[in-house]
Amino acid sequence: MRTDTLVVNAAAAWLPPRRQVPAEIGATAEDTGYTALAVSDGPSAPEMAVLAADAALEQAGWPAAELDLLLHAWSYYQGHDFWSPAHYIADQLGAHAAQPIGIQQMCNGGAAGLQIAAAHLLGDPSIARVLVTTADRFCPPGFDRWNSDLGVAYGDGASAVLVSRDTAGGAGGAGGAGAGEAGLDAPAAGPVVGAGADERTAGANERAGALRLVAVSSVSAPNLEGMHRGDDDFSPAARATAAAVDVRRTKRAYLRRHGSSGYRAAERERVETLLRLAVDEAGLTRDGRRPRYVVLPRVHRGPLESVLVPLVGEVTGAEPLDFGRSTGHLGAGDLTTGISDLLDNKILAPGETALVLSTGAGFTWSCAALTAPAG
């Protein structure tokens, strides 16, 4: 999805201060693929989301009361049964005019939220300001953050991203090459934005640190959904089959039945397809430019080094960035926290583009392309 008339106005992550190191479970960083995991001893997942959202709203100078849409994504239990965490977050922020929507697309939820935010902003003139949040807390007794899954260990945390239209000059106004400069046909005019939306958005995307959201791309392989279902029958209630989440068991059952070669081939093909699609939708293939960086998902070092890093080099020529070794995989928040990392560390020079990757069970892989203002 081409989204170069949109801007990420701010992004923030809230990670708990405590880190659990592999030695605490009798393992090493080489064994686990991580040097430490972020662990929340107190705030629940939705409470962490409120903290991240407060920080992002403060960065952008946006009142929560002026939000039009709030999208909250998660991959694990949010603290209550039969309940909407998205509405809780909106209420706690004071975003009482916003429509809260929950997104449960496993660990690709933050990416799905960003894509849905973009679709609303591109298609609905009444939507001007959107907040995307994610939050997960992988705690006992239902989850063993180190041992409940294969190829990944889980950290706690939340993220928040604020998105609006670029009112500073269209595709080229927020920085980087415009459609004409990239050798592309100029995009068709978008929907006419009402005066109220313009007034609320104008100036906000000119704040220091805003990034142009150039594209959000996704590919899927739903034939792999059985990796998280295994041989289990459908059960009447959560964790009726086992006392704790045990994805190792379901993945091993799937691999016994289907072998590992099919998944490995599908992963490689889908990730390569995603990277090529993202580069194309960002307009980087038409003028010889390439992304400066690719932010990697926070999965185990093994899959990163064997699949993702080689494909990133082959397809994009960009430098891979790995922020996940001291946090763990952040559930639905890998992509959105990666955007926060880009902003916090001021990694992109004016006009440079980064791709931020995400993956989630099902499987779906997503990529956001972001460009720094040209100055």
Angle between helices 261-281 and 247-258 (to 10 degrees): 100
Residue with tokens 């686990």: 32
Between CA 353 and CA 138 the distance in angstroms is 33
Q: Looking at residue 206, what is its pLDDT? A: 44
The set of residues, in sequence order, having a beta carbon less than 8 Å from that of 108 and lying 6+ positions away, is: 218, 332, 335, 358, 359, 360, 361, 362, 364, 365, 366
Ordered alpha helix ranges (H), 247-361: 247-258, 261-281, 301-303, 309-315, 334-344
Q: Are 34 and 73 in contact (CB under 8 A)?
A: no
How far apart CA 334 and CA 367 sit, in angstroms, is: 11
Q: Give the residue extent of every domain in the chain.
A: 1-375
| 71 three-class SS | strand
**Residue 310 structure tokens:** 């080689």
pLDDT less than 50: residues of the chain: 169-207
Q: Where are the beta strands (DSSP E) in the chain?
A: 2-14, 18-20, 37-39, 69-73, 99-103, 129-136, 157-165, 211-220, 293-295, 319-321, 353-360, 364-371
* From the candidate CATH numbers 3.50.50.100, 3.40.47.10, 3.40.50.1100, 3.40.50.2300, the one assigned to the domain spanning 1-375: 3.40.47.10
